[in-house]
Structure 1
Amino acid sequence: MTAKQEWIDVAVKALDKAYVPYSHFPVGACLVTKDGKIYQGLNIENASYGLSNCAERTAFFKAVSEGEREFSHLVVAGHTPEAISPCGACRQVMAEFCAPEMPVTLIGDHGVKKEMTVEQLLPYMFTEKDL
């Protein structure tokens, strides 16, 4: 099994752990550091919807809370007919912590896959240069 397939498997397995009693829309993520460490993320909902957290941000916040700051790849998986699309908040978090050229693999049902970069997901991103 390739490393990339392992990352996809981690993201897909997170779908079963997602806490989604309201939307019933699980999302899983696998964030990989530059030294190969893996952080799994899943979405966690709350009855007060604004307090919910997406899978991508869960993975980033876990990694950053452990001192990680350099990332090499992100995989996001969902039960969607096409490759899943990250929300705007997650795209902005990616822009905060990742190089624009960092690859992102988006996975849907039945192996549907799309490869993009952070910059392709969020062109004209807001960064520290804009402050």
Structure 2
Amino acid sequence: MSPTVPIYVAISISEGVYKHWGIFIDASGKEDKILLQVAGSDGRFRYEMETTDVRQSERLVELFHLYDVDVSKINSIKTIASQVTVHNEIRGWNCQDYVLDLLEALEKEAIVNNKDAGYKTQKDSLQGKQEGLA
């Protein structure tokens, strides 16, 4: 069996109204720990990939485990993350929407098995944490 690496949603306190979300790939090497996110503000978000261990951030409030992925899929995840559309034309679209859009893209590309009961439970739970939904 190939080695796996845990994938989390890093939930942090932000400057804005809502908590900040990003996908954290918790690889074993310090230089391999990656945060995939959009940064900015309403209408001005941009994609960012940051090499960091989010556990070191004082702003981190929760590391939400989603699933474990085969190490060989990390580059595909990074590529897909950079290609997810940043919807600056949609008022109120934010980093939380980006994370959910990225998960949909990973499911579509079969990087994540959306039939896996554990993953589905975690994703449903994550969607319940999304803020600003009326």
With structure 1 as the length reference, what TM-score do the two structures score? 0.32
Higher relative contact order, chain-length normalized (CA < 8 Å, sep 6+): 2
TM-score, L = length of structure 2 = 0.32
More strand per residue: 2
